[in-house]
Amino acid sequence: MNVSGLLGYFATFAIAAGAYSIASLGLNVQFGYTGLYNFGIAAFFATGAYVEGIITGGPSMEHLGGFDLPVLVGVIAAMVVSAILAYIIGIPTLRLKGEFLGISSLGIAETIRLIITNEKWLAGGVWGLGDIPRPLGNLVGPKTYNWVYLGLVLAVVGIIYFLVQKIVKSPWGRVLKAIREDEGVAAAMGKNVYKYKMQSLILGSVIMAVGGAFYAHYVGYLSPESFRPLMGTFIIWAMLMAGGKGNNKGAILGAFVVWGVWTFTEFFVNYLPSGLASRAGYINAIFIAILFQVLIRIRPQGILGGE
Amino acid sequence: MNFVVNGLILGSIIALGAIGLSLTTAILNFYNFAHGASLLLGAYMGYTVLSEFLPRLGLSGSTFPYLSFGWQMIIAILGSMGLTAVIMIAIDRFVYKPLRDRGSGPLILGMSSLFMALMLRNLVRTIWGPSVHYYSNEIQMVQEFPLGIRMTPDQIFIIGLAILLVILTQLFLKRTKMGQAMRAASDNIDLAMITGIDTEKVVIWTWGIGTALAAVAGVLYGINVQLRPMMGWYFLLPLFAAVIIGGEGNFYGALAGAMTVGIAQEVGTPLLQNMFDSINIQVSMTGYKPAIAFVLMVIVLLVRSYGEE
Amino acid sequence: MEVREEEVVSIIGPNGSGKSTLMKTIFGLLKPMEGKVCWNEEDISGLKPNQIVRKQMSYVPQTSNIFQSLTVTENLNMGAFIREDDYSDRIREIFEIFPQLEEYRNQYAGKLSGGEQQMVAMGRALMLEPTILLLDEPSAGLAPNLVDMILERVEEINRTGVALLIVEQNAKDALEISDRGYVLAMGRKEYEDTAQGLLDNEEVGELYLGG
């Protein structure tokens, strides 16, 4: 592999890591600052990606859309749909023990996956949804395009980081932290815990959807396979826990580190004996699972530690 | 009518899993997201005993009259119960217990078990491959029964064994001191400790029995349908739904919840299909079977959360 | 503070004076911030509850002190969990102290009345034939006639040779059946005397016994 190839590889890597850091920031709002356990990140990530694909994609006979609309319209639509989804899942669960949000969000992620798998008219079914355009693609040639898109993604990461940072330092954010530490105390202070949790759940999910939307442009083609629990949910949890829950820099750092580990091991397992090589993806998943167990045992606060 | 029968078969499989999940949830105060993986592991352990272990001893080939398998399956089921229980107890000792001892909350434990399920699922894929397996290649003849019920002999065996195990478990919980201690601990763990009940021993017994029952459920699903790496994951929502509907730690509740979920999945699918067909909405409901359990669960949670106010 | 063999000692004091906390600390549910808990000249501070029961100490907490979903007999069985011997005689003795329980032996404990539940809780704690029984507010939430009845049973338990340490809201009633008493306020010992002495003490009477 020559230098420009390696650099190109790095750009692709960083774009994916960038999209994941957005999702990881979203999870940080929910879990890191409010203590909400969302085990169904895939639902919001996938919703964001698919809505983006349908809104901005080229017209297709196979599925709904594409409407060929601007990227910004797509992102806003993705945010709205995912906010509604979060609201629906919040109603039955946020008054109850935290486990129920976990279980129900896991359920909604599975249901979303069933919908994108079964409803060919909507999302292309197992054939997937293609022809997702490259934003700003007409500005530069295909060779340098990845760098332009990387710049765009990193800018979005920066904006979201800045906004989340502002939000969690605001009085509203302090209430979230109070809820995370002790719900009873927050309630005793006269705060409507349910309302705050709902707002946090929605905010986080909307951010995840933005991550999904930019992920959609990166891959250019979506299929239900990309939103299996491992790639849609687990890996993002591993990212946040690695970087440090309750720390926005950590959320981003964790995404790059875990995605780096993932890409590296993927690269590495290709050299396994041929019998095992076909199962490399599984071994990689086992590795992520073990990494996570070690993390919560040895360093539950992550690399950077929370606030 | 046959949908109801199918529902009962699925319900008995879910019930075996849900009883164990309900007990561990109540006693350990955490939702074990790896309980589906106990079913998965159980099914594959049974497969290993049946197709690897016994043939090497030259013990294979017989079948019971009518059934698709012979006495080897009984050994496979017992072996699977033992192996799965031992593996899961070991995981508890080395993974969950250190977290518990450190005072980690139930949600950290839940998350740990979620990743444990991920690991076990991929371990199964690595060892046995991603494709499906069957215990037997024999084709079963469907028998006609009164009321238009059609079942294979294997399915009668499944329901029979499930009923037998439920009765045995209930007797254990009612009649033995350890069984009573398990109920006591699931009722009030703090009082159990004050009373002098050895709660660690109770925890081990609970894991053992809960995961062994789940292992049987996995084998029974394998007999009825097939073995595949995602089977544990697909059982997770029905299992949780059954436990939540029945109330954590409630034996009969878990049983009733499991039957409700099983029948709702099998009967609800064609029912909704008819409904959508009649109003001309083109949708294929069979793909949404797993979502039915989820919808049921959300309804129960909704009712509960309005009870909280 | 101390409790001697076969003695009944009451701890009284206003709400929030640390009475329940004291009980929980003695029984190993909370770690002592300072000081030690000794029993038979052995330091038991820091022992876990399941180790303490083996020292012939039993504890009845104020709330959720029975296994609701177990029958009366099963509750008593659980009380005897660490006993390896045949304890059916002990169950009979407990039914002699609390005859009502025998009647309801196969009923679920959670279905019984408040007074009966308190008896189940005490019966459960007595299964190990403790030399000392710790009772946290045995009469809380009970009707006045039941309070007297429960305290009578406490006296009866004491007559079988069991020492008792009682925390009570109904301070007067409790002191009447006690040998000695302590007054606790703000987590500290304010007074100690014989029960009669405390009952006669005007200051204690005014401040803690409602005049």
For residue C67, give the nearest of B177, B191, B199 by CB distance: B191
B residues 180..239 contacting A (CB < 8 A): 233, 236-237
Token pair belonging to C201: 């003490």
Q: Residue B189 belongs to what H/E stretch? A: helix B189-195
d(CA A120, CA C78): 59
d(CA C4, CA C36): 17
Q: What is the pLDDT of residue C211?
A: 47
Task: State the pLDDT confidence band at B308, using cuts at 50, 70 and 90.
Answer: low
Flag whether B38 is in a domain: yes
Average pLDDT of chain B is 89
Task: State the pLDDT confidence band at A275, using cuts at 50, 70 and 90.
Answer: low
pLDDT digits (tens, 9 = 90+) for B120-145: 999 999 999 888 999 987 777 788 88
User: Which of the residues C58, C69, C122 would you substitute to probe the B interface, choosing the one with the greatest number of B C-beta atoms within 10 Å?
Assistant: C69
Flag whether B142 is in a domain: yes
Contact C170, C142 (CB under 8 A): no
Are B188 and C67 in contact (CB < 8 Å)?
yes
The whole-number average pLDDT for the span B111-115 is 92
Total structural domains within chain B? 1
Nearest Cα of chain C lies from the Cα of B182 at a distance, in angstroms, of 10
Are C53 and B199 in contact (CB < 8 Å)?
no
pLDDT digits (tens, 9 = 90+) for C37-61: 787 778 888 788 888 888 888 999 9
Are A110 and B244 in contact (CB < 8 Å)?
no
Nearest Cα of chain A lies from the Cα of B255 at a distance, in angstroms, of 20
Domain CATH number, residue B19:
1.10.3470
For residue B110, give the nearest of A99, A290, A292 by CB distance: A99
pLDDT digits (tens, 9 = 90+) for A148-178: 889 999 999 999 999 999 999 999 999 999 9
Flag whether B298 is in a domain: no
- The residue in chain C having the minimum alpha-carbon distance to the alpha carbon of residue B194 is C49
Flag whether A296 is in a domain: no
pLDDT at B59 over 50: yes
The whole-number average pLDDT for the span A180-191 is 88
Chain C residues within an 8 Å CB radius of B192: 67, 78
pLDDT digits (tens, 9 = 90+) for B144-155: 887 778 888 889
- The residue in chain C having the minimum alpha-carbon distance to the alpha carbon of residue B200 is C50
Domain that includes residue B103, residue range: 2-263
pLDDT at A124 over 90: no
d(CA A221, CA B9): 40
Rounded to the nearest 10 degrees, the angle between the axes of helix A248-269 and helix A235-243 is 120
Domain that includes residue A205, residue range: 3-226
d(CA B301, CA B293): 12
Flag whether B305 is in a domain: no
B111 at interface of A, judged by CB pairs closer than 8 A: yes
Contact A146, A8 (CB under 8 A): yes
Q: What is the pLDDT of residue A301?
A: 82
> Which residue spans within chain A are E strands per DSSP?
none
Flag whether B213 is in a domain: yes
Task: State the pLDDT confidence band at A256, using cuts at 50, 70 and 90.
Answer: very high
Are A92 and B301 in contact (CB < 8 Å)?
yes
Of residues A28 and C200, the one with the higher pLDDT is: A28
The whole-number average pLDDT for the span B226-230 is 92
- Tally C-beta pairs within 8 A across A and B: 123
Contact C66, C121 (CB under 8 A): yes
Q: What is the pLDDT of residue A1?
A: 54
Chain B residues within an 8 Å CB radius of A99: 30-31, 106-107, 110
Flag whether A211 is in a domain: yes
Of residues B309 and B2, the one with the higher pLDDT is: B2
A residues 128..157 contacting B (CB < 8 A): none
Total structural domains within chain A? 1
pLDDT at A269 over 80: no
Chain A residues within an 8 Å CB radius of B237: 103, 106-107, 110
d(CA C164, CA C132): 5
pLDDT at B309 over 70: no
Are C74 and B199 in contact (CB < 8 Å)?
no
Of C205, C179, C207, the residue nearest C194 (C-alpha): C179
d(CA B32, CA B26): 11
Chain A residues within an 8 Å CB radius of B44: none
- Tally C-beta pairs within 8 A across B and C: 61
Are B181 and C81 in contact (CB < 8 Å)?
yes
- The residue in chain A having the minimum alpha-carbon distance to the alpha carbon of residue B237 is A107
Radius of gyration of chain A (CA): 19
Flag whether B92 is in a domain: yes
pLDDT digits (tens, 9 = 90+) for A188-246: 888 899 999 999 999 999 999 999 999 998 888 888 888 888 888 999 999 999 998 88
Q: What is the pLDDT of residue B128?
A: 92
Nearest Cα of chain C lies from the Cα of B154 at a distance, in angstroms, of 37
pLDDT at B119 over 60: yes
d(CA C182, CA C195): 8
Task: State the pLDDT confidence band at B80, using cuts at 50, 70 and 90.
Answer: very high
A8 at interface of B, judged by CB pairs closer than 8 A: no
For residue C54, give the nearest of B191, B196, B199 by CB distance: B196
Flag whether A280 is in a domain: no
pLDDT at B53 over 70: yes
Chain B residues within an 8 Å CB radius of C120: none
- Rounded to 5 degrees, what are φ and ψ at B144? -95, 135
Flag whether B14 is in a domain: yes
The whole-number average pLDDT for the span C137-166 is 86
Are A103 and B244 in contact (CB < 8 Å)?
yes
Burial of C46 (0-12, 13-18, 19+ CB in 10 A): exposed
Subunits with 3+ Cβ pairs within 8 Å of A are B
For residue B187, give the nearest of C61, C67, C81 by CB distance: C67
- The residue in chain A having the minimum alpha-carbon distance to the alpha carbon of residue B309 is A95
Contact B135, B74 (CB under 8 A): no
At which residue do the structure tokens 């296994």 appear?
A: C67
Q: Which residues of C touch B (CB under 8 A)?
A: 27, 29, 48-50, 53-54, 59, 61, 64-70, 74, 77-79, 81-82, 124, 128
Flag whether A292 is in a domain: no
Flag whether A294 is in a domain: no
DSSP A185-232: HHHHTT--HHHHHHHHHHHHHHHHHHHHHHHHHHHS-B-GGGGSHIII
For residue C70, give the nearest of B184, B190, B199 by CB distance: B184
Contact C79, C123 (CB under 8 A): yes
Chain A residues within an 8 Å CB radius of B131: none
pLDDT at B90 over 90: yes
For residue A114, give the nearest of B95, B99, B291 by CB distance: B291
Q: What is the pLDDT of residue A250?
A: 93
A and B in touch (3+ CB pairs within 8 angstroms): yes
Beta bridge partners of C38: C43
User: Any long-range contacts for A117-120 (C-beta under 8 Å, 24+ apart)?
Assistant: A117/A224, A117/B287, A118/B283, A118/B284, A118/B287, A118/B288, A119/B283, A120/A62, A120/A63
d(CA B230, CA B214): 15
The whole-number average pLDDT for the span C112-130 is 91
Flag whether B287 is in a domain: no
Q: What is the pTM of this model?
A: 0.87
Q: Which residues of B touch C (CB under 8 A)?
A: 177, 180-181, 183-184, 187-188, 190-199
For residue B187, give the nearest of C70, C81, C124 by CB distance: C70
pLDDT digits (tens, 9 = 90+) for B256-299: 999 999 999 999 888 888 888 888 777 777 778 888 889 998 99
Chain B residues within an 8 Å CB radius of A290: 119
Q: What is the pLDDT of residue B273?
A: 85
Subunits with 3+ Cβ pairs within 8 Å of C are B
The whole-number average pLDDT for the span A45-64 is 85
d(CA C201, CA B152): 84
Chain B residues within an 8 Å CB radius of A300: 104, 108
Q: Residue A166 belongs to what H/E stretch? A: helix A142-169
d(CA A287, CA A299): 17
Contact B7, B265 (CB under 8 A): yes
ipTM of the complex, rounded to two decimals:
0.87
Nearest Cα of chain C lies from the Cα of B178 at a distance, in angstroms, of 9
A and C in touch (3+ CB pairs within 8 angstroms): no
Of C116, C105, C63, the residue nearest B194 (C-alpha): C63
In this prediction, what percent of chain A has a pLDDT beyond 70? 95
The whole-number average pLDDT for the span B170-185 is 93
pLDDT digits (tens, 9 = 90+) for C60-92: 998 889 999 999 999 999 999 988 888 889 999
Report the side by side order of strands in the sheet with C8-12.
C57-60, C132-136, C163-167, C8-12, C180-185, C188-194
Are B177 and C81 in contact (CB < 8 Å)?
yes
Q: What is the pLDDT of residue C42?
A: 80
